[in-house]
Amino acid sequence: MTSENVNASELVTEDGPQSRAAGRVFAYIQLIDPLKFALPLAIIVAWSAAYASHWLPPVLLPSPWAVVRATLNWIDPSWTGDPKAYFSGTWLTDAIGSSFRALTGFCIGSALAVILGIAVGWSSKAERVFDPTVQLLRPMPRTALLPFAIIFFGLGNLPALFLVVYGVFMQVYLQVVIGVKLVSRDWRRAAAMLGASQTQILWRVIIPGALPHIFSGLRLGIAYAWTMMILAEMFAVPSGFGYVLWRGYEFMRMDIVLAGMFMLGLFGYLSDRIIVMIARRKLVWAQELSGTQL
Amino acid sequence: MGAGAVGHPIIEGQQVRKTYVGRDSRPTVALAGIDVAFREGDITLLVGPSGCGKTTLLNIIAGFEKADQGAVFERGTPIKGPHPRRGVIFQDPNLFPWLTVWENLMFGPNVRGEDKHVAGQRAEELLAMVGLLKFRDHLPHQLSGGMRHRIAIIRTLANAPEILLADEPFTALDEHTRRKLQEDFYELVSRTRQTVIFVTHNIEEAIYLADRAVIMSPSPGRIKQVIDIDLPRPRDIVDLRFNEYRKMLFNLITPDVMPE
């Protein structure tokens, strides 16, 4: 410890703390892959060019800058001084409400899917009891449940949660069942000959062995959580990203419609990254086995 | 181990019959009602061409599969399922890839609730014997194929089985690694006079390891001959008498090799 500290302070006195910080920023910039940014940049340039050429009226195609302004107005109207609209200053409430509905529904739906999926993949009795029903419901588009949810639960968080839980469950369940069923017979045999009981095999072999599939199910599930949440908010919840989006359509405010879309993309991306981060740490073995990173 | 009299049958199969229904729905007789006995403290090799039922017999002894007719007994008790008394080494190392080498070695002792200190000492000793102590915290895929096989062997031994069953564990390895592992394997099992039942199609491997070789032949799977390999250890694969056994086994097995 001490020798490292001495070395560090020596380094600071040699080049000065500022040049070290600059060096770190430079190293970080070097990490940025220009190829990853080429296409988004091209799209923004093409969009700006289309706007400047008056190819479409601004009502249909606002400028990128107008979308940024609408976003700022949405977060805090005092930043831009633009006229107040229905969405001015509601961003934080919308973000919290939407995230709550999407993430709570995701947690409940995926927990149910993991529990039931493991049971169905593991026990043929559970499979006979549950699987036919799930397989019968699965082909039905999940969005078709919207009218049912509104009639049954009324307006508010409840129909939204119901839709998210249902949508996530259907997405995750299948992956969990597949994951459990594909756990190698030889791993199960190895555990059995080493003396593991059926319960120990389930916890120590089946579940860890099925984790790669379970995580891919969770990634599909989180995307579906936001989809179902938006659908519910458009029709059944008087706030949130979906509400702002749908009112944007009603008022013909393409700027806030696009701002809402980007915001949803951002939130969906961030929640997906969290799952990927956890998966990367939990599935070191599976990644190295396949020689790829999640 | 060692308590029972050496030479007494520890595993005995009576009229063991097993039939598989193939994809063309024609039944294949893997074992045609065979009688077989394995002596305690012996290294017995099951040798024969593919389709002779040697792996099926091993799986029934392990408790992974059930005989259609007849039964296999361990010290007079019928075998009903897998048991840690009968440790298995598979064709693939079959380590749990999410566990480190050490966690793999301790899997058996942990699920059986064995004293951690006693089991840990045994595992460490085995790791040292195969020269892999410094890899104890590695994950299996970070090891070479030969290392993984070594860990798989000592994972089963670390569970202190009374009988060791091995299903062609060295088949997928290159020749030099295989020879080295055969030496290591013999060293590991001979110091405790471990009872071993070992399946192979490799004649040289059979003569190198076996106290006794059970020659099997296919369609239907049955036992053709039992040969005691009476050679001093360590065995020399280019020795004249080794070659005589090689010739004897070759002449027994080759006529049975079926066209694919």
Write down the pTM of the prediction: 0.82
* Cα gap A66→A58, rounded to integer Å: 10
- Whether residue A159 lies inside any domain: the answer is yes
Flag if A194 and B98 touch (Cβ within 8 Å): no
- Whether residue A26 lies inside any domain: the answer is yes
Residue A2 binned pLDDT confidence (cut-offs 50, 70, 90): very low
* Cα gap A28→A37, rounded to integer Å: 15
Mean pLDDT score, B137-151 = 93
Q: How far is B260 from chain A (nearest CA, A)?
A: 26
Q: How far is B151 from chain A (nearest CA, A)?
A: 13
Flag if B111 and A205 touch (Cβ within 8 Å): no
Q: What is the pLDDT of residue A16?
A: 52
- What digits encode the pLDDT tens for the residues A164-213? 999 999 999 999 999 999 999 999 999 999 999 999 999 999 999 999 99
Residue B23 binned pLDDT confidence (cut-offs 50, 70, 90): confident
Query: Between chain A and chain B, how many beta carbons pairs sit less than 8 Å apart?
Result: 71
Q: Which of A63, A82, A101 is the last residue of a domain?
A: A63
Residue A24: which H helix or E strand, with range?
helix A17-31
With beta carbons under 8 A apart, name residues in chain B contacting A286.
Answer: 97-98
Say whether both A109 and A17 belong to one domain: no
- Whether residue A228 lies inside any domain: the answer is yes
Q: Which residues of A touch B (CB under 8 A)?
A: 184, 186-187, 189-197, 200, 204-205, 208-209, 211, 284-286, 288-289
3-state class of B86 per DSSP?
strand
Say whether both A110 and A190 belong to one domain: yes
Query: CB-based contact (8 Å) between B241 and chain A?
Result: no
- What digits encode the pLDDT tens for the residues B95-129? 999 999 999 999 999 999 999 999 999 999 999 99
Query: CB-based contact (8 Å) between B248 and chain A?
Result: no
The answer, yes or no, to whether residue A294 has pLDDT greater than 80, is: no
Interface mutation target, options B61, B83, B85, B111, chain A, most CBs of A under 10 Å: B111
E strands, B143-207, where?
163-167, 195-200
Domain count, chain A: 2
Nearest C-alpha neighbor of B156 from the set B189, B186, B181? B189
Flag if B107 and A289 touch (Cβ within 8 Å): no
3-state class of B89 per DSSP?
strand
Q: Where are the domains of chain B?
A: 8-85+163-173+191-255, 92-160
Burial letters for A65-94: b for 16+ Cβ neighbours within 10 Å, e otherwise? ebbebbbbbbbebeebeeeebebbebbeeb
Flag if B159 and A205 touch (Cβ within 8 Å): no
Say whether both A34 and A129 belong to one domain: no
Say whether both A105 and A234 belong to one domain: yes
The answer, yes or no, to whether residue A89 has pLDDT greater than 50, is: yes
Say whether both A11 and A152 belong to one domain: no
Mean pLDDT score, B68-74 = 95
- Whether residue A151 lies inside any domain: the answer is yes
The answer, yes or no, to whether residue B11 has pLDDT greater than 80, is: yes
With beta carbons under 8 A apart, name residues in chain A contacting B139.
Answer: 284-285, 288
3-state class of B249 per DSSP?
helix
Q: How far is B85 from chain A (nearest CA, A)?
A: 8
Flag if A284 and B139 touch (Cβ within 8 Å): yes
Superfamily of B8-85+163-173+191-255 according to CATH:
P-loop containing nucleotide triphosphate hydrolases (3.40.50.300)
Interface mutation target, options B65, B90, B107, chain A, most CBs of A under 10 Å: B107
Say whether both A127 and A219 belong to one domain: yes
Q: What is the pLDDT of residue A211?
A: 93
- Whether residue A119 lies inside any domain: the answer is yes
* Cα gap A246→B3, rounded to integer Å: 81
Nearest C-alpha neighbor of B200 from the set B86, B89, B120? B89
- Whether residue A70 lies inside any domain: the answer is no
Q: How far is B89 from chain A (nearest CA, A)?
A: 8
Residue A82 binned pLDDT confidence (cut-offs 50, 70, 90): confident
Q: What is the pLDDT of residue A1?
A: 39
Say whether both A146 and A196 belong to one domain: yes
Domain interval for residue A25: 2-63
Query: CB-based contact (8 Å) between B73 and chain A?
Result: no
Residue B21: which H helix or E strand, with range?
strand B9-21
Average predicted confidence (pLDDT) for chain A:
89
Q: Are A257 and A248 within 8 A, CB to CB? A: yes
- Whether residue A72 lies inside any domain: the answer is no
The answer, yes or no, to whether residue A14 has pLDDT greater than 60, is: no
The answer, yes or no, to whether residue A33 has pLDDT greater than 90, is: no
Q: Which residues in chain B (22-51) have CB-CB distances under 8 A to chain A?
A: none
Flag if B111 and A200 touch (Cβ within 8 Å): yes
Residue B7 binned pLDDT confidence (cut-offs 50, 70, 90): low
CATH classification at residue A110:
1.10.3720.10
Q: What is the pLDDT of residue B12?
A: 95
Q: Classify the phi-psi angles of A88: left when phi > 0, otherwise alpha if psi is within -120 to 50, otherwise beta.
A: beta
Q: What angle do CA B3, B4, B7 make, to 5 degrees?
A: 135
Residue A17 binned pLDDT confidence (cut-offs 50, 70, 90): low
Share of chain A above pLDDT 70, in %: 94
Farthest CA pair distance, chain A: 75
Share of chain A above pLDDT 90, in %: 77
Q: Which of A22, A44, A63 is the last residue of a domain?
A: A63
Query: CB-based contact (8 Å) between B148 and chain A?
Result: no
- Whether residue A68 lies inside any domain: the answer is no
Say whether both A163 and A205 belong to one domain: yes
Share of chain B above pLDDT 90, in %: 80
* Cα gap A89→A71, rounded to integer Å: 10
Say whether both A284 and A146 belong to one domain: yes
Say whether both A127 and A207 belong to one domain: yes
Say whether both A184 and A221 belong to one domain: yes
Q: Are B122 and B160 within 8 A, CB to CB? A: yes
* Cα gap A47→B17, rounded to integer Å: 75
With beta carbons under 8 A apart, name residues in chain A contacting B98.
Answer: 208-209, 211, 285-286
Q: Which residues contact A248 (CB under 8 A, 6 or more apart)?
A: A87, A254, A256, A257, A260
Q: What is the pLDDT of residue A11?
A: 43
Query: Given A195, A200, A205, which is nearest B159 (Cβ)?
Result: A195
Say whether both A106 and A245 belong to one domain: yes
Query: Given B92, B96, B142, which is nearest A205 (Cβ)?
Result: B96
- What digits encode the pLDDT tens for the residues A109-146? 999 999 999 999 999 999 999 999 999 999 999 999 99
